[in-house]
Copies of this chain bind each other. A is one copy, B any other.
Amino acid sequence: MHFTSGNITTFLLSLSIMLLSAKLLGELFNKIGQPAVVGEIIAGIILGPTVFGWLMPQVFTSLFPTNNEVKIALDGIVNLAVILLLLVSGLEVDLSVIVRERKSAFLTGAMGIIIPFILGFAVSLSFPYLMGLKDESMKMIFAIFMGTALSISALPVIAKTLMDLNMFKTNIGHIIIAAAMFNDLIGWLIFSVILSLIGASNHGLSVWQTILLVLVFTIFILLIVRKLFNLALPWVQKKFSYPGGVLNFILILGFLGAAFTEYIGIHAIFGAFIVGIAVGDSVHIREQTKEVIQQFITNIFAPLFFVSIGLRINFITNFDPVMVIIILVLAFAGKIAGCTLGARLSSMKANESFAIGFGMNSRGTMEIILGLIALQYGLIHANVFVALVIMAIITSISSAPFMKYFLRAEESLSSLLKPDFILFTDIHDKKELIGLLVNAIGHHFKINKTEILDEVLKREDIIPTGIANYLAIPHARININKPVIAAAINKQGIDFEAEDKIPSQIIFLLLTPKDKNELQLKLLADIVKLFKDKDRAEKILSLRNKEQVIGQLKLSA
């Protein structure tokens, strides 16, 4: 066997086409407010036997041959890609967040795995053939697999969705992330059991031996290697070229961890993920290092993996509507019930709990990887795999809209802005203008106007709140139960020291409850986001009708 010149040409063409289609659809989905990963998976479905391979079977087979050196080389790259993707996902895990939010994270994460697992397990055990069991003798393993596939989250997708919603650094965001990390860790541990039950290449180890090895490995990496890495990193950064030395060091550790878990019969990705957590936790790791690794892996390797999913299977011939509906119902019901319940148990409010439930509902990375392995080992039919991928896409797409819906009632910008709190003014003086806004609010709420005005002006003295594009947002946290927003469209520009030096003409006054730091940040971010678009700011300045102003502000909030 030899990698010929013709092989190289095909290999390069396949890679370019995979990257190109993944990027185009990934960016398109990003543009319409969806996670890029969904676009990348769909790009693969289009590029694979489902569409392109069906339209032009000859070109398809010559680009993506099924049985020669190019396939092996692409397999190698895709395997490397998943391993690197999990290494990077591990880097994102912040152990201290889990510790800080341990109560909510534990309850949400645990219930978010127990309930969907039991649901998936029970249904698969009760109706194994309806659920697509291939081999009667594998019934128990199959049921455990379905339970796991339905209960595992997709940390990278969840993190991306939270960032898109400006919620990554809020309280709810932290709880969701911590719960998802906890969830993933447990999910992988269960999956390692499944793999050892399938027993692909575990060198004659029993299930218990494998579980023991996995636990020892996990504890060894998370306790000892984590500490050692943290101790060694400053030395590596000092003695070796930077960031080259660290980059290599991290990849070598990741590959070794991956090779070990693969060797003991657990998939390589588990080892890479655990090493990623241990490495990412070091206080000495620098942003630049993470940046280089993350950019290259998430932009080059991850898309290659997600595209490759669609290349394997025909999503039309293996599309089984009943299976898809069953999987979707089980996935939504189990995860949302579990996480919402968990969040409620940790004394979150009902709407917040539902938001957490939908936030945790995104699948897309992990459970597709699990599905692929199960498919490879002949544990499931292709139609189950297709249903799992479709479930991943739909749960990921629906997560953000549902979260917005549940958090909207209380906290969203458009629900807070009432016509009574919109003023058209023509004032020179900053204090006077803020006074007017406080007054407008004071007509409707029982607040101490003088005290609040003082509070807002004090804040304004320290750091002026001019943003850009005519916008300024004086704000304060005060003794109220709900946030209040008032806005003035002021003909005169007033200097709030905005970044772009443009005097502010659209001034929001934002008052939020004292104990809700994250809510203030979220609302501030929402307003700023709305005014990223200078055209919209100018449009609003031209309006003279309160309802129209609210209409403009609702457009994207």
Contact = CB atoms under 8 A, between A and B. Distances in A.
A71 interface: yes
Contacts of A252: 16, 19-20, 23
A15 B83 CA distance: 13
Interface in A1-38: 1-6, 8-9, 11-13, 15-16, 19-20, 23, 27, 30, 36
Interface in A78-92: 79-80, 83
Contacts of A239: 27
A76 to B, nearest CB: 3
A258 B252 CA distance: 28
B201 A76 contact: no
Contacts of A16: 251-252, 255-256, 259
Contact of A255 (B19, B201, B245): B19
Q: Which size class do A's interface residues fall under?
A: 35 or more
Interface of A: 1-6, 8-9, 11-13, 15-16, 19-20, 23, 27, 30, 36, 67-69, 71-77, 79-80, 83, 200-201, 239-241, 243-245, 247-249, 251-252, 255-256, 258-259, 262-263, 265, 268, 291-293, 295-296, 298-300, 303
Contacts of A248: 19-20, 23, 299-300, 303
Given A12-B258, A292-B291, A19 B79 contact: no
A110 B2 CA distance: 37
- Residue of A5, A13, A252, A293 ringed by the most chain B CB atoms within 10 A: A5
The number of times this chain is found in the oligomer is 2
A171 B532 CA distance: 46
Given A245-B27, A247-B299, A291-B292, A8 B77 contact: no
A255 B12 contact: yes
B27 A299 contact: no
Contact of A241 (B27, B71, B75): B27
